[in-house]
Amino acid sequence: MWGTLLGIVVVVLLISIRQVNQYQRGVKFQLGKFTKMVQPGWRLVLPIIQSMTKVDIRTKAVDMPLQEALTKDNVSAKINAVIYYKIVDVAKAILEVENFWFAVSQLAQTTMRNVVGELELDELLANRDAAARRIQQILEKTTQSWGIQVESVELKDIVLPDNMQRVIAKQAEAEREKRAVIIKASGEYIAAENIAKAAQVLSGTPGALHLRTLSTINDLSSDQSNTVIFAIPLEVLRAFERMGK
């Protein structure tokens, strides 16, 4: 009899052993009532009167599918993102929300559409990081009560309609042409200023213009195929005539 009883006890103990891995935490219930959080290792969970739910506390990545959203300036766009989160309070994650994985996914999708609706298309394309931070802040306000910490939100892709892509391409091309014209005009303005300054220096220095003319002629004479015709001031011709006399 004692042997049979001992055998039953051993079987019950073997059945009651539960292993909680290092990356897990357990939530233990007794007669349906939460009793404590279970740390990693081998733990006893008595059949019928006790139960335990194990929760993975590693960082999880939720890949949200493309969500169609309307921006503030009424442009339709498809956006997808990745949410990184982890369980920081296992008891809350089990007791406060039925399915925390599904809840985080649905909340993230709704929040992303709402945030996109607050931004114009140019703001969304130019400030993806700011939009992602805004989504993260809104998520954290709700998930904190679930014992979940949202570590980061990354916007993966923003898909625009074909006609809008063509419009953006034309806008970018026009912007580049505008910058090119501005740069060219600025260069011409600087060159004109320098030429004006050089003219002032030459006009204020006796003989400087003649020296510049001779230097230019010397540069042109390096190519024998050039024929150069230039005007000589009358004062110079008279000076040559006086020298000849």
């026009």: which residue's tokens?
Answer: 174
Instruction: Go through the domains of the chain in sequence order and give each one's CATH number.
Output: 2-56 (no CATH), 60-165 (3.30.479.30), 180-244 (no CATH)
Listing DSSP states for 132-187 in one string gives HHHHHHHHHHHHGGGTEEEEEEEEEEEE--HHHHHHHHHHHHHHHHHHHHHHHHHH
Q: Is 230 left (phi over 0), alpha (psi -120 to 50) or beta?
A: beta
Alpha helices, H only, the chain: 2-16, 90-95, 100-117, 121-126, 128-143, 162-204, 208-220, 234-244
Mean pLDDT for the chain overall: 81
Q: Taking the model in full, what pTM does it have?
A: 0.64
- Pick from 42-51, 105-114, 201-210 the range whose average pLDDT is largest: 105-114
Residue 212 has pLDDT above 80, yes or no: no
Tokens of 228: 């150069």
Residue 215 has pLDDT above 80, yes or no: no
Taking each helix axis from N to C end, the angle separating 128-143 and 100-117, rounded to the nearest 10 degrees, works out to: 140
List all residues 6 or more positions away from 210 whose beta carbon is below 8 Å from its beta carbon. 236
- Please give the average per-residue pLDDT across 114-131, as a whole number: 87
pLDDT tens track for 85-103: 999 999 999 998 988 888 9
pLDDT tens track for 17-63: 888 899 999 999 998 899 988 899 888 888 888 889 899 999 998 88
pLDDT at residue 184, as a whole number: 85
229 or 9, higher pLDDT: 229
CA-nearest of 55, 105, 110 to 84 is: 105
- Lowest mean pLDDT, pick from 35-39, 95-99, 120-124, 206-210: 206-210
**Are 151 and 107 a contacting pair, CB within 8 Å?**
no
pLDDT more than 70, % of the chain: 73
Residue 136 has pLDDT above 60, yes or no: yes
Residue 149 has pLDDT above 90, yes or no: yes
